[in-house]
């Protein structure tokens, strides 16, 4: 009996979380995350791969 009550509470909480998150918030999160990833890739490119190209020529 306790398991059924807990499961129904979890399902209702998940439904509230999903309905509160709008598409705009998700899109903004994806855009900001992509900027962070591109920035980190740019730093690693400059730090590791540009040095390798200079020393080989």
At residue 22 the predicted structure's pLDDT band, cuts being 50, 70 and 90, is confident
Residue scoring higher pLDDT (37 or 19) = 37
pTM: 0.51
State how far the Cα of 21 lies from the Cα of 8, in Å rounded to an integer.
20
3-state helix, strand and coil shares in percent for the chain, rounded to the nearest 5: 95, 0, 5
Residue carrying structure tokens 């059924």: 4
Nearby residues of 6 by Cβ (< 8 Å), 6 or more positions away = none
Kindly tell me if the per-residue pLDDT of 4 is higher than 60.
yes
Kindly tell me if the per-residue pLDDT of 20 is higher than 60.
yes
At residue 12 the predicted structure's pLDDT band, cuts being 50, 70 and 90, is low
- Domain ranges within the chain, ordered by starting residue: 22-57
How far the first Cα of the chain sits from its last, in Å, is 73
Residue scoring higher pLDDT (13 or 46) = 46
């Amino acid at each position: 009996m306790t398991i059924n009550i807990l499961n129904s509470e979890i399902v209702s909480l998940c439904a509230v979380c999903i309905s509160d998150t709008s598409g705009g918030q998700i899109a903004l999160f994806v855009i900001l995350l992509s900027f962070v990833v591109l920035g980190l890739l740019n730093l690693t490119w400059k730090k590791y791969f540009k040095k390798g190209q200079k020393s080989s020529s």
